[in-house]
């Protein structure tokens, strides 16, 4: 009888070890299943030539919190653009034509890396006078907002990405006017009457009359 408790102890130990092995096997199966499932919660690194989804939270929310529009002075005395757009300047390819990008660039900065200036309560920077919210919406290209804005390739890619993201979603005309007004007025800028003066001013740039 003295050996009976030892037998019970050994049997109990065997049962516990078996249960432990079963739990480990079950856990490994669960982990394999998890690894095979797509992870929607993972951050995907942005690629300039890929934009699969529109930010629904931004599109359905209050976009007025991000101000893009620039004050446009239509006074003839203020409309001095000098020479026409330099055809040697090359922009990133995309929805917006090279000629149209050149006209927008000329209107915004004389197509020069002019840095940042205060505009409608916030800074606008670089070749296309890109605001921080605009740069965020185009995918945060480059090393930072201001550096990208002052680089003609990065800033023009930002404009192209922005148009691909918003212009088609809001049924903007696939024309230079549609893109220029969208650039000036934000996600729904192509439909805002407040962006018409911007377009009228752009058309008065030498070489941009027939955009």
Express each pLDDT in 127-143 by its tens digit: 999 999 999 999 999 99
Instruction: Please give the Cα distance from 69 to 193 (Å, whole number).
Output: 11
32: annotated active-site residue? no
Which tens digits make up the pLDDT trace of 148-179? 999 999 999 999 999 999 998 999 999 999 99
How would residue 5 be classed by pLDDT, with cut points 50, 70 and 90?
low
CB 162 within 8 Å of CB 134: yes
How would residue 20 be classed by pLDDT, with cut points 50, 70 and 90?
low
Q: Tell me the pTM.
A: 0.65
Distances (CA, A) of 35 to 5, 17, 21, 22, 28: 45, 27, 21, 20, 11
Q: Which of 108, 137, 151, 177 is catalytic?
A: 108
49: annotated active-site residue? no
- We find that the CATH architecture of domain 56-202 is Orthogonal Bundle (1.10)
Residues 6+ apart with CB under 8 A from 98: 90, 91
Residue 180, judged by CB atoms within 10 A of its CB (0-12, 13-18, 19+), counts as buried
pLDDT at position 120, please? Answer: 84
Which tens digits make up the pLDDT trace of 102-121? 999 999 999 999 999 998 88
């Amino acid at each position: 009888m003295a050996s009976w408790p030892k037998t019970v102890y050994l049997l109990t130990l065997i049962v516990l070890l078996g249960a432990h092995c079963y739990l480990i096997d079950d856990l490994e199966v669960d982990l394999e299943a998890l690894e095979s499932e797509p992870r929607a919660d993972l951050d995907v690194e942005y690629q300039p030539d890929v934009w699969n989804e529109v930010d629904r939270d931004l599109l359905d929310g209050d976009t007025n919190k991000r101000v893009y529009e620039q004050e446009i002075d239509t006074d003839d005395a203020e409309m001095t653009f000098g020479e026409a757009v330099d055809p040697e300047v090359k922009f990133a390819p995309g929805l917006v034509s090279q000629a149209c990008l050149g006209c927008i660039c000329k209107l915004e900065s004389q197509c020069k890396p002019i840095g940042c200036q205060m505009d409608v309560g916030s800074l606008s920077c670089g070749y296309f006078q890109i605001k921080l919210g605009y740069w965020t919406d185009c995918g945060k290209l480059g090393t930072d907002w201001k550096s990208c804005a002052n680089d003609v390739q990065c800033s023009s890619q930002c404009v192209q990405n922005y148009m691909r993201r918003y212009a088609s979603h809001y049924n903007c005309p696939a024309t230079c006017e549609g893109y220029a007004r969208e650039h000036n007025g934000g996600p729904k800028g192509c439909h805002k009457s407040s962006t018409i003066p911007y377009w009228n001013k752009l058309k008065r740039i030498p070489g941009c009359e027939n955009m």
